[in-house]
Amino acid sequence: MIEQLWLEHDLGWRRDASPLTTMPVVEELVSAAGYGRPYAINEIRIHTRNAAGASAMKIALADAGYRIVRHYDPRTLRL
């Protein structure tokens, strides 16, 4: 069992200037759950400043049955 899996959406850029993201990992987790074999992960924490990417990851993983926590870095919050 994985106690916590932390995912960042934006990982950088490929040589062809296309974005490198964590979405292939999310797709694998969702696919496994769809086949009735979800990964044994207690909690997935999403920690990215990319709001659209975080939302896409959260919706896909939550719909697949994973427990999601959206982590916000207090240094990036504006009150």
Mean pLDDT of 59-64: 98
9-36: pLDDT as tens digits: 999 998 998 899 999 999 999 999 999 9
Q: pLDDT category, 61, cuts 50, 70, 90?
A: very high
Helices within 1-75 (DSSP H only): 23-34, 51-63
Phi-psi region of 27 (alpha: psi -120 to 50; beta: other; left: phi over 0): alpha
pLDDT score at 72 = 76
Give the start-to-end residue ranges of the domains of the chain.
Answer: 2-72
Give dist(CA 10, CA 8) in Å, integer. 6
